[in-house]
Amino acid sequence: MSAQRYTLPAILLHWGQAVVVVWLLWLGWTMVDLPKGAERSAAYGLHKSLGLLAMGLVIVRLLWRARHPAPPALSVGGEGRLAAAVHHLLYVFLVFAPVAGYLASSFTPYPLKFFGLEMPKLGWPDEGLNATFKQVHVVFVWSGAALIALHIAGALKHAVCRDGTIARMLPGRLFNK
């Protein structure tokens, strides 16, 4: 594998995290409009499980990145600085959105489950703290959605320019010819 490419684990973690985050965004934006009942409870339960999964994935990604640096950036100047800033802010979003969601869930009377397995909570039922962390979660989520849009716009720009940037994050030889 070229030093210019990301490692296969980094690629798989990136795309796995992308799938989970897009699913979380869609579920988060649709579940709030569901009427109270079993369907809404199931949607919230799935959202919390996926959020805990996203938190675990970003921890693994950060640990992987600490031992396996990213290949050198291809963009330079202002474009390179913008790309670096967006990537760093995406990691801020990927860490703090699920942490805020976890903390919001910690201050409800409901159990926090990871795909059916009850998880420890750091809090107690407290509507004020729940509302505060929920608002922080929402701010991170909307900010993250904007960052994701910038990230996708940058990826599309690189795809149109065919400058090799996209091939660095796609798995397999099929995409790297």
Q: What is the pLDDT of residue 173?
A: 56
Name the fold adopted by 8-175.
Fumarate Reductase Cytochrome B subunit (1.20.950)
Q: Nearest CA to 98 among 62, 68, 64?
A: 62
pLDDT attached to residue 177: 43
pTM (2 decimals)? 0.91
- How remote is the C-alpha of 130 from its chain's centroid? 21
Instruction: Quote the CA–CA distance of 174 and 64 in Å, as a whole number.
Output: 25
Contact of 24 with 47, CB cutoff 8 Å: yes
Kindly report the number of other CB atoms within 10 A of residue 24's CB atom: 22
Q: Which residues pair with 117 in a beta bridge?
A: 114
Q: What is the pLDDT along the chain (177 residues), one digit of tens a residue?
A: 445 889 999 999 999 999 999 999 999 999 999 999 999 999 999 999 999 999 999 999 999 999 999 998 888 899 989 999 999 999 999 999 999 999 999 999 999 999 999 999 999 999 999 999 999 999 999 999 999 999 999 999 998 998 888 889 988 754 444
Task: Please report the pLDDT score of residue 68 as a whole number.
Answer: 94
